[in-house]
Amino acid sequence: MSTPWIVLATIIGYFILLFIISWAATRKTDSEAALTGGREAPWFIVAIAMLGAPISGVTFVSVPGMVVAKGYSYLQMTLGFIVGYFVIAYVLLPLFYKRKLVSIYGYLEQRFGAGTHKTGAWFFFISKMLGAAVRFYVVCVTLQLLVFAPMGIPFIINVIATIALIFLYTLQGGVKTVIWTDTLKSFCLIMSVVLCIYFVARGLGYDLGGMCKAIAGDESSRMFYFDDPKDGLYFWKQFIAGVFMVIATTGLDQDLMQRTLASKNAQESKKGLIVSGITQFFVIALFLILGTLLVLYVKANGMEMPEKSDELFGKVAFAPGMPVIVGILFILGLVAAAYSAAGSALTSLTTSFTVDILEADKKKPADALSRTRKLVHVAMAAGMGLVILVFYAISNSDAISAVYTLASYTYGPILGLFAFGMMCKADVRDRLVPIVCIAAPIISYGVQWWLKQQYDYTLGFELLLLNAALTMLGLALLIKRK
């Protein structure tokens, strides 16, 4: 069987599984349960779902390839993630459960007012739409290369078909579907990576001891960078950025928090979050170990290193001497990561737009709310497809960095709003908050450019902190004087 048909058969098989799980999980789901998950998910299911939730198709494709230029430096940030998960569990979760929030941005209205609430919701909307589109774009390009281009199918049909399938399996079930499909996704991801490590190592003739020795001796396995504080890979820049990045992109992200808020209570949510946060470190380490083995395989077989590091995994998986099962595992992991992440993003965008921006849960009865949610779901799917097509003209060799850089600009104001609201009890001029949140990313970009020009200093992922700090400073200037 040729490569395109192997890939297509794997995709079809996975989608059949998704539809079965979606149907089984949501046979009796009403509008409220679609938005909240019914508040009955066991903590260990949430932990498994949260383990795979931050891992998108970009992670699956990009992280193994990033060892070529950046080694295992990503683990420095992942160590910061663990600290950030504890902050979310013990600071944010009790706050969200105490206020019985459907959308976490409801806190901003309770604390500041309607203007701030809408601002936070719109920033989330832009952040999630762009971030999800970047992630899914990388997957669509990979599938275009392996499947659709050899069959003569244009890229636009690829995007429309995959978005349509994701739309269909998430339409009815909402958050419940997300939790159970993410559980399947986590299982498929870990199984795919572990088995790929095994087959690539076997192809290199390594046993367990030989594999560990070869990985440790290769320059791509360097983990800690303490030598140059100006470098974007410097340990403390990565670690501290990791702490705040996960607070912003998980704790203050409706997409990821909708899973934990589906637990029975705050204690159940805490257990699920902490377990998934610690386990995530080891899952990311598996991706990086696989990356080093892929580099060693390319060198050992005289293959040419791809120009774009994101293409490394796919190139080796479908290399002539590699067993067919490795290609199937690559596609299975990629599809599991990409489609579940896109489905989750669609669901969270639908929830936030329906609740935060339209406020349909306050204004409409159950039947009308259900119709509104489905119409919004259609609009979100169409919007994501359009953004992906816009990204088609853009190429990036390290997409994971692009995603986090984008997040530094768009999640910074959200982090600043929540931090100011929790640290300061003063009221602010609510109607001027949007101006502050728009100005902060613009000023941050200017500071980033100036530091690079004047001091050759690379402002990396700590850009998120600068963005949040400028937002907080702006809010302080808006405090109402008594």
Q: What digits encode the pLDDT tens for the residues 196-220?
A: 899 889 888 888 888 999 998 888 8
Inform me whether the pLDDT recorded for 400 exceeds 70: no
74 vs 39, higher pLDDT: 74
pLDDT at 66: 84
151 vs 468, higher pLDDT: 468
Inform me whether the pLDDT recorded for 397 exceeds 50: no
Domain map of the chain by residue range? 3-394
Long-range contacts at 122-125 (CB < 8 A, ≥ 24 apart): 122/357, 123/410, 123/411, 123/413, 123/414, 123/437, 124/253, 124/254, 124/352, 124/356, 124/414, 125/349, 125/352, 125/353, 125/357
- Least confident among 33-47, 79-93, 220-234, 247-261: 33-47
pLDDT at 432: 93
pLDDT at 29: 52
- In this prediction, residues 305-318 reach a mean pLDDT of 79
pLDDT at 15: 75
Taking alpha carbons only, the member of 409, 332, 312, 389 closest to residue 134 is: 389
Q: What digits encode the pLDDT tens for the residues 424-470?
A: 888 999 999 999 999 999 999 899 889 888 888 877 667 888 999 99
pLDDT at 35: 44
Taking alpha carbons only, the member of 299, 105, 8, 330 closest to residue 199 is: 330
pLDDT at 79: 93
Q: What is the CATH number of domain 3-394?
A: 1.20.1730.10
34 vs 230, higher pLDDT: 230
pLDDT band at 31 (very low <50, low <70, confident <90, very high): very low
pLDDT at 289: 92
Average pLDDT, the chain: 80
Inform me whether the pLDDT recorded for 259 exceeds 70: no
pLDDT band at 394 (very low <50, low <70, confident <90, very high): low
Alpha-carbon distance of 385 to 178, in angstroms, equals 19
- In this prediction, residues 265-274 reach a mean pLDDT of 79
Inform me whether the pLDDT recorded for 299 exceeds 80: yes
Q: With 0.85 as the threshold, say if the pTM is over it.
A: no
